[in-house]
Structure 1
Amino acid sequence: MALLLFTAIMTTSEEAELCFPQLNSSCRKIMRPHSVSMLIYITLSSISVLTVVLNLLVIISISHFKKLHTPTNVLLLSLAVSDFCVGFLMIFQIILIDGCWFLGDLMCAVHFVLDYIITSASIGTMVLISIDRYVAIYYPLLYPTKVTQNRVRICVSVCWVACVLCHCLILKDNVEQPGRYNTCLGECVVVIEYYAGIVDVFISFIGPVTVIVILYVRIFVVAVSQARALRSHIRDVTLQGSVRITVKKSELKAARTLGVVVVVFLICVCPFFCVTLSGGDSVVSVSSAAFVMCLFFLNSFLNPLIYAFFYPWFIKCIKVILTLQILKPGSCDANIL
């Protein structure tokens, strides 16, 4: 997944300084103007810190307040956990800015394993979110009984466990013999077998993205038709019908909000995979690699901002947390909806 990107980052000019000056087998640093390097460091560090803090607020909010314990929010919690981890993984990317890896071969392998697992878990959670909204819109009467918190928790757990097992198996050789594919000291590279790579791309990218797009196209069609029906029959509904309309409106709003999350996710993630898949022997420029990596990380930073914009309860939760009202007895029962 990230092999070509990091390989590209390690490809530098011959005039670059060595990562380990005392060793002839050392890799070469990427040489940039000091101002450019500082700008990159500050930008990535800021995004990393904000990503960790904002997603931590989402995790605390959904975990603490009982009113937020819904099947859909369980999925948002899983997404926030993966985004929270991405914020920490950005530290490794910051270390690699100059094209040198100083943490050893084992940590390099661990970094890639975590990268694969968290990326796949995020995409898997997006698929579950799409399925959740599809069932809520297409089968509104069955949704409360078929989609329960326990079932969603089981699906999320299966998703994470499957991602861990799958990518530990795919990267097994790299973990057992860390650094076996490095060409110089200070390099961080992993290699996946050809067929395993094809399976991984299909499971982690092509398959999930196809499912997400198909489901949300169908959701959009239903949402448009229901919105027209609501507008045309709003004057003739009974009180009972009004209740049903309110429910439908809330589901449509949730679908629209999570649709924004999914679209932003696809915009940020697709370039990452496209550059990665641009060809085994083709040269990926350092600038394009850096751009898609930053775009990929930016998605984890944007998700909490989307919640803040579309979900009033998130703003209320932030106020309660920052003012330490969350420490008061019984705060978990507060009505923040």
Structure 2
Amino acid sequence: MSSGWAGGPEPRGTAQKGERFFPPPRTGSIPLAAQSAMPMSHRLPVLLQVTEEPDGSRADRSIMAHPISAFQAAYISIEVLIALVSVPGNILVIWAVKMNQALRDATFCFIVSLAVADVAVGALVIPLAIIINIGPQTEFYTCLMVACPVLILTESSILALLAIAVDRYLRVKIPVRYKSMVTPRRAAVAIACCWIVSFLVGLTPLFGWNNLNKMQRTQEPNSSHAGFVITCQFETVISMEYMVYFNFFVWVLPPLLLMLLIYLEVFNLIRKQLNKKVSSSSNDPQKYYGKELKIAKSLALVLFLFALSWLPLHVLNCITLFCPSCRTPPILTYIAIFLTHGNSAMNPIVYAFRIKKFRTAFLQIWNQYFCCKSSKNATSTTTAETGT
């Protein structure tokens, strides 16, 4: 915050009786790079409501007094637009799998898990990101709970993509034994394990790996418990050591590299099978492996878009940790954030254009529930399409 408010005279004629203007508490927080781009004219002080308690003591209750700047308004508008595309799109994916019997195998169950995470990004993470961007005054652990959901959902998406990659590998490696090995029950257990691990990884900051000790060391000696009311920003509460060493180097980068190797092996196996025309459970090996190749390419595209969307933000985190003196242009931070959130809206588009079963199911939903045609005609038409 502006140093002009530190120790400056109290403004006159601006506070009513029982109210005082104070600068936000000094908490030693690390400002988010994008937040630092906001002009000082938009960083107003916090209005503290001073009330008398029954025992005669005085209590200060902070009231956020931040007007939204034009830049913030543009940021919020883009985030809302992403949410409006992501939530309906991924709900449509879940709906398609539920109503179409042809989308009931293990791969599409993992896709549903990925879609659930993407719906939560649009419905939960984006609103929380907007709140953090505004910078409300909250207690430390309240801000920490606002920051953790994105970590949970990111890890859930990565593990769902890893499960999808392993599933595609098994389909081309052991096509005869695949159905006996990958049962719906085992797929459900795998999905549950992915979500449990995601919660453990994403909630690690709540277990103690956060910036609380660092903030305590920067507190003034005579500061009271009220000093832990902070301007809520992601980097204020989340440790960069956790984000880089644990989140990125352990739970993001290795799974991405493993998935890359898996898909390379999948394409290699499919190419060999197509060349040798090895017999399989299908009556037509060329048709079986040709279909597997198309689906594998589509899911590999989903993985590529995920990596393209998330790696820039993790690279910026590495720069923040390893080069504290380096200044990252705020616009790059905003672009990286938009990419991570926008990734949740990309997958339904990929499914619609690249996977025929999804495209058929989407058309069936549209014709049956949204199109102006009669339900009978729409149902018969889409049923015929599904049969072909």
Give the corresponding residue for 2:267: 220
- Of 170, 187, 191, the residue aligned with 1:152 is 187
Tell me the CA shift for residue 229 of structure 1.
4.5
* 1:243 corresponds to: 284
Q: Structure 1 residues 102 and 223 mapped into 2: Cα distance closer, same or farther (>3 Å)? A: farther
- Is 1:108–2:152 an aligned residue pair? no
Question: Which structure has more helix as a fraction of its residues?
Answer: 1
Question: Residues 127-150 of structure 1: CA distance to partner in whole angstroms, max 9, x if unpaired?
Answer: 111111111122222222222221
Q: Unaligned stretches of 5+ in structure 2?
A: 1-28, 49-61, 217-226
Q: How many residues align?
A: 321
Is 1:295 aligned with 2:339?
Answer: yes
Q: Which amino acid aligns with 1:190?
A: V
Whole-Å separation in 1 of the counterparts to 2:191 and 2:103: 17
Q: TM-score, normalised by structure 2?
A: 0.70
**CA displacement at 1:126 relative to structure 2:** 1.0
Amino acid at match of 2:169: Y
Compare 51-60 and 160-169 and name the one that shifted more: 160-169
Which of the numbers 227, 237, 253 marks the counterpart of 2:294? 253
Report the CA distance between 1:325 and its aligned residue.
Answer: 5.0
Equivalent residue in structure 2 for 1:186, among 217, 225, 231: 231
Q: 2:328 aligns with which of 261, 266, 284?
A: 284
User: Secondary structure of the residue that 1:284 maps to in structure 2?
Assistant: coil
Instruction: Calculate the aligned-residue CA RMSD, in Å.
Output: 3.9
Paired residues of 2:42 and 2:66 also in contact (CA < 8 A)? yes
What is aligned with 1:234? none
Secondary structure of the 2:40 match is coil
Structure with the larger strand share: 2
Q: Distance in 2 between matches of 1:271 and 1:310?
A: 26
Q: TM-score of the superposition, structure 1-length normalised?
A: 0.80
Counterpart check, 1:17 vs 2:39: no
- Given candidates 274, 295, 307, the residue that maps to 1:266 is 307
**1:175-234: CA deviations, max 9, x gaps?**
99799679874332213384786233233212111211111122222333444446xxxx
Letter of the aligned partner of 2:268 in structure 1? V
Shift of 1:113: 1.6
Amino acid at match of 2:47: Q
Between the aligned residues of both structures, percent identity stands at: 20
| Partner residue, 2:159 | 124
Q: Return closer, same or farther for 1:163/1:154 CA change in 2, 3 Å cut-off.
A: same
Residue 169 of structure 1, CA deviation:
3.3
Structure ranking higher on relative contact order (CA contacts 8 Å, 6+ apart):
1
**Cα separation, partners in 2 of 1:316 and 1:278, compared to 1, 3 Å:** same
CA distance in 2: counterparts of 1:144 and 1:168, whole angstroms: 35
Q: Which deviates the most, 56-65 or 118-127?
A: 56-65
19 and 302 in structure 1: CA distance in 2 versus 1, 3 angstrom threshold: farther
Q: CA deviation at 1:11?
A: 2.3
Q: Is the alpha carbon distance of 1:194 and 1:97 closer, same or farther for their aligned partners in structure 2, counting shifts above 3 Å?
A: closer
Equivalent AA in structure 1 for residue 301 of structure 2: V
